[in-house]
Amino acid sequence: MTPDPHTVLITGGASGIGFALAQKFHAVGNRVILAGRRSEALQQAAERLPGALAETADITRAQDRAALVQKYPDLNILVNNAGIQLNSPLAEQSEADITHELCVNLTAPILLTHAFLPMLLKQPHGAVVNVSSGLAIVPKEAASVYCASKAALHSFSQTLRWQLEHTGVKVFELMPPLVDTAMTAGRGKGKISPEALAEEFWQAFLADKYEIMGGKTKLLYRINRLFPKLAERIMRKGL
């Protein structure tokens, strides 16, 4: 992909990985839209990126998705970054917890992509960027629903890429390792910063590398290819 000019919408863009990606796009002159549920945090984030827009939206709600599509018909890059992780055994989760986690991590990104796709296909150059996880490769024991949702998002990214390969829309997938964000606070070691991950993404994005394994995800992938039982033992220890 060329670095600019693009109109880029990033879900979960107020902090963490989403904001780090926004900084990369903004730095080279793209029009950046930060979307999320926390109005105050979004406004504060947008103020750090002159010209960026803040859109309060819950992408699990059909009416909020429709409002974004109606407001930004010229969008040509969609970054599906918003996600949540509940670290507890399935037996301890409520049905509402399970449904919400699946909706945020999988259903909403698919539906938002579906809603924007007619507009993206009209653009000379377009892209969908799905932020999945290294846990899409090898799951961890403590977060079965999260891992399942990210594995499914990985599969969705692959098949959507095949469906769109003869169009102007490119499909990227960013598979982060453990990143130092609010979601991972208090657990895990060896985290990388959101900024370091965003730099890895940016170089791969410019080079049209569609599956981007950040940080230790590359190592996990290699271990799983060569020694799958070892990868399983590592990940069962949890992060």
In whole angstroms, what is the distance from residue 61 CA to residue 118 CA? 19
15-46: b or e for each residue (b if 16 or more CB lie within 10 Å)?
bbbbbbbbbbbbeeebbbbbbbbeeebbeebb
Q: Could you list the active site residues? A: 146
In whole angstroms, what is the distance from residue 170 CA to residue 15 CA? 25
Residues paired with residue 211 on neighbouring β-strands, in sequence order: 173
Q: Using alpha carbons only, give the angle 174, 80, 96 rounded to the nearest 5 degrees.
A: 115
What are the tokens at 139? 């799951």
Angle, nearest 10°, between helix axes 95-102 and 144-163?
A: 30
Write 42-51 long-range contacts (CB < 8 A, 24+): 42/13, 42/14, 44/14, 45/13, 45/14, 45/15, 45/19, 49/22, 49/23, 51/26
DSSP letters for 157-189: HHHHHHHTTTSSEEEEEEE--SB-SGGGTTS-S
Q: Closest Cα to residue 133, out of 151, 155, 156, 160?
A: 151
